[in-house]
Amino acid sequence: MCWCGSGRKYKKCHADFDERISEMKFNVMKGQVRPPRNIINNEKDIEGIRKSGVVNDGTLDLMEELVRPGVDTASLDDAARKYIESHGGIPACLNYEGFPKSVCISVNEVVCHGIPSKKTILKEGDIVNIDVTTILDGYFSDASRMFIVGGKTTPEAQRLVDVTRECMELGIQAIKPWGWVGDIGAACGNHAHANGYSVVTDLGGHGVGKKFHLEPFVSHNTEQGTGMLLAPGMVLTVEPMINQGTYKVDVDKSDNWTVRTHDRKLSAQWEKTVLITETGTEILSS
């Protein structure tokens, strides 16, 4: 039987896959490595992540309806939790390593891991990232979107949000089966730098599916042809965090979660969960 847990015979499942990898040459100087077997998903796993993604996307759609001036972020968090739970899911962030809320809501200069609060009230023109991770029947999906509070912000903030989305999409377009993780960061980083922005390097994307965080770490500022091999069956997030000013960030010492830009200039982030297929990619949550 195949090692992937599909219930199929190895010869008809991953024998050709293993043979292809065994014939490849890996450049150690470029950090090229084989993907571990535990991050290669079978058809059942992929369908589980896909179904989780439906609930995750529904939660983000709800956030789009609720984000408006005068709303506090704790109310958004409560609505997200209720939506996920009413659809049979579990909010993965809640109590994850001590995180106290169900989703991350990061406003303006907050890069990520913003903790929802009654004290954080959205204002017209704020740019807001809402990051949602859902567990459904043991499978994780993870995505985030940017929202413009009130529908209009400054031209500078709007441009940052738009370019960050372009970075994510270019990163996803760079994913090819039998390519390399570094191809993602090269596409994201090159576009960000060409537009005068910096790329956060302390945090990045990750494998996802059977657990919240799996290999590989997905940097968004790398070189082509570097890092782990991208193989069919892998699921990972592409989530560039792009800053107006310096790439450096600070973690709030009072809560040990909230990450802000070091210079307190604006930051933006978009994220999708991406499946690598035999022919390209499939978006499982966006």
In tens, the pLDDT along 14-49 reads 999 999 999 999 999 999 999 999 999 999 999 999
Our measurement of the distance from residue 179's CA atom to the centroid of its chain's CA atoms, rounded to an integer in Å, reads: 19
Task: Tell whether omega for the bond before 216 is within 30 degrees of 0, i.e. cis.
Answer: yes
* Residues present in the chain in total: 286
Q: Where are the alpha helices (DSSP H) in the chain?
A: 15-23, 43-66, 73-86, 155-173, 182-194
Split at pLDDT 50, 70, 90, the class of 264 is very high
**What are the structural domains, with CATH classification, of the chain?**
39-285 (3.90.230.10)
- This prediction has a pTM of 0.97
